[in-house]
Amino acid sequence: MLAIRPLSTLNSSKSSVFRMSKMALRPMSTAAVTPKFPFSRPRGAEPAEEYAMLRANEPVSKVELWDGSHAWLVVKHKDICSVLTDQRLSKQRNRPGFPELDKGGKEAAKRKPTFVDMDKPDHMKQRSMVESIFSREAVDRMRPSIQNTVDTLLDDMIKGGCKNPVDVVEKLALPVASYTIYGILGVPFEDLKFLTQQAAIRSNGSATATAASEANQELLDYIGKLVDMRVSQPNGDLISKLVTEQLVPGNIQRDDAIQMAFLMLVAGNATMVNMINLGIVTLFENPSQLADLKKAPSLAPSFVEELCRFHTASALATRRVAKVDITLGGKVIKAGEGIIAATQSGNRDADVFPNPDTFDMYRKRGDESAFGYGYGEHRCIAEWLSRAELEIVFSTLFQRLPNLKVAIPLEEVKYSPPERDVGITELPITCYGAGRLTVPNKELNGVTVTTTPATLTNVLIGPGGLITIDRSYYHDVSGRASKLEVDGVILAVQASKSYSSTCRDALSVYKTAPVPPSKETRFGSVDSPMSSNTEPISNVPDLSSASACSSTFGRA
């Protein structure tokens, strides 16, 4: 067995290969201490350095947990796949030897389990009660509703101005995750704020243990009342489905219904919030890929796929206990010994993912499977919902807010404690002067006006003219705009309060210089600073009067 030299003695580097070369390994003496787990991330979202060393030298090894007990740590992709599909290993947390990572986990293991902590056949029996709600087909039907939620939240952000920093956790990430699952569960609209507050306290990583426990109980009590309500007042939601199809016929008990609904309520919230935050930061760490995503929002699914590999969600949740003796990686694991499948490490396995520490949304993918949503029969039941939410957020966010910026240096972003799953507790952003507007195709005084949405990055105001948008007409106009094409001429547009039969009252249309095919003329929000790459536009007629409008277009 190998011992790890204390990390304080090692040089750090952004290059994982360089870090590995600095790690000194020496034979472990009989008196050597087994490494303590969970390992700590060295900084930010970087995985613990121990994982790379163990993948190279000892992929199945023992670690010491918080209470002095030991468990086996598995760090290679192929071995993790074996662990998560081996029926000789149990997911039941109440089995002796199951590895819990803290005192809270030990207490939670005493509660009545849901399907995530069951083995066959109970696991599939209970999971099947709600699985259809989260199927790919069902989630596809939810996409318009999710899109509406995202649009509404961004509308509110833009209305607020975004001039001063706002926390994207509060304004976007947590509401997107929460409102979607609340709708599935059938939570009354008037309760959304209360539940979102409790969910934030429970999962934000900065609350005290007492506050988190109290919030947890508040949520359980609320779900209990909702279950009781649905017994007499069933609706078309998930809780009603559990009540009418399972609870009333006697297939499950009231506590089962409460725990299953509670699981659906809280399981994805913290993970979704973290992935949205991590996604934003990751894009700013990789500006060329951010630029590509802005130009082609259809890249969002590829971005999300790589995001879920690079920043593994719930990386500490994949644990088992051996029911019989097994051999794995040349090590004998005895019955009753715990196993931790380090999915975050598996997602950085160079044998499966070339250049694993490089974020690359263009990564070519074969049959290999990243562990962003787990693996095997316990793979995340809400995977398709999570993918849909993330894809919609990242295909929309920078289209609506192209000027979005993280309001603090990236090295000052507040991450979750280094020994916990990677997450971001708060993320201040600004988006002043951001947005985009698609004006509906219109026939303006006999001239056909078609629109081509264009993200605006800079603006020129004055005789060279460009765009101002009346806030009273467009509900989120802090920077939305469009290129317009009138009879083949590229135009810039000024919107007034309403459309009418004259140019003056409807759209003041300014002819601009043609845009060379090989060179993009850059426009932007009226609130954005001028930029050196803004090109002046000359010979702009004054169309402030109906007569000028008529003379320009030959019709009034």
The phi, psi pair for 26, rounded to 5°, reads -140, 150
Catalytic residue among 61, 203, 271, 345: 271
Q: How far apart are CA 512 and CA 539, in angstroms?
A: 8
CB of 482 within 8 A of CB of 490? no
| Global confidence as pTM | 0.74
pLDDT reading at 545 higher than 60: no
What percentage of the chain exceeds 70 in pLDDT? 70
* 525 noted as active-site residue: no
CB of 185 within 8 A of CB of 238? yes
97 or 190, greater pLDDT? 97
Residue 518: strand, helix, or coil: coil
Residue 189: strand, helix, or coil: helix
Q: Which residues sit opposite 26 in a β-bridge?
A: 3
The pLDDT, as a whole number, for residue 282 is 98
Reported confidence tier of residue 206, pLDDT bands at 50, 70, 90: low
The pLDDT, as a whole number, for residue 202 is 74
The pLDDT, as a whole number, for residue 205 is 58
- The 8-class DSSP code of residue 36 comes to B
The overall average pLDDT reported for the chain is: 76
Q: What is the CATH number of domain 123-311+355-430?
A: 1.10.630.10
Catalytic residue among 178, 240, 314, 430: 314
Reported confidence tier of residue 87, pLDDT bands at 50, 70, 90: very high
* 314 noted as active-site residue: yes
**What token pair was written down for 362?**
């263009």
* 162 noted as active-site residue: no
The pLDDT, as a whole number, for residue 212 is 78
Tell me whether residue 496 is exposed, middle or buried, using C-beta atoms within 10 angstroms of its C-beta: 0 to 12, 13 to 18, 19 or more. Answer: middle
Residue range 358-401, pLDDT digits in tens: 999 999 887 678 999 999 999 999 999 999 999 999 999 998 88
Least confident of 5-14, 183-192, 337-346, 459-468: 459-468
CB of 188 within 8 A of CB of 162? no
The pLDDT, as a whole number, for residue 41 is 95
**What token pair was written down for 428?**
């201040």
Residue range 311-342, pLDDT digits in tens: 998 888 899 999 999 999 999 999 999 999 99
- The 8-class DSSP code of residue 129 comes to T
Tell me whether residue 172 is exposed, middle or buried, using C-beta atoms within 10 angstroms of its C-beta: 0 to 12, 13 to 18, 19 or more. Answer: buried
Of 376, 175, 382, 394, nearest to 305 by C-alpha is: 394
Residue 525: strand, helix, or coil: coil
* 421 noted as active-site residue: yes
Catalytic residue among 380, 431, 503, 549: 380
Least confident of 217-231, 296-310, 503-517: 503-517
- For 127-158, b/e burial (b = at least 16 CB within 10 A) is bebbeebbeeeebeebeeebeebbeebbeebb
CB of 483 within 8 A of CB of 551? no
The pLDDT, as a whole number, for residue 446 is 35
Pairing of strands 338-341, 70-74: parallel
pLDDT reading at 150 higher than 80: yes
Catalytic residue among 117, 119, 237, 421: 421
Reported confidence tier of residue 432, pLDDT bands at 50, 70, 90: low
Q: What is the DSSP string of 395-408?
A: HHHHHH-TT-EESS
443 or 68, greater pLDDT? 68
Of 332, 409, 341, 326, nearest to 371 by C-alpha is: 341
User: Token match 């506590």: residue?
Assistant: 255
**Domain ranges, ordered by start, for the chain:** 123-311+355-430, 437-556
Q: How far apart are CA 227 and CA 224, in angstroms?
A: 5
Can you tell me the mean pLDDT for 91-111? Answer: 92
Residue range 241-274, pLDDT digits in tens: 999 999 999 999 999 999 999 998 888 778 898 9
- The 8-class DSSP code of residue 412 comes to G
The pLDDT, as a whole number, for residue 255 is 93
Can you tell me the mean pLDDT for 299-313? Answer: 95
206 or 44, greater pLDDT? 44
Amino acid, res. 59: P
The pLDDT, as a whole number, for residue 204 is 63
**What token pair was written down for 190?**
């008037």
Can you tell me the mean pLDDT for 500-507? Answer: 28
pLDDT reading at 435 higher than 60: no
Q: State which H helix or E strand residue 62 sits in.
A: strand 60-64
Tell me whether residue 170 is exposed, middle or buried, using C-beta atoms within 10 angstroms of its C-beta: 0 to 12, 13 to 18, 19 or more. Answer: middle
**What token pair was written down for 314?**
């719930």
CB of 203 within 8 A of CB of 273? yes
The pLDDT, as a whole number, for residue 51 is 98
CB atoms near residue 179 (< 10 Å)? 22
Reported confidence tier of residue 62, pLDDT bands at 50, 70, 90: very high
The pLDDT, as a whole number, for residue 72 is 98
The pLDDT, as a whole number, for residue 155 is 86
Q: How many CA atoms lie within 13 A of 426 on its CB side?
A: 11
CA angle in degrees (0–180, nearest 5) for 59-315-60 = 15
**What token pair was written down for 3?**
């011992």
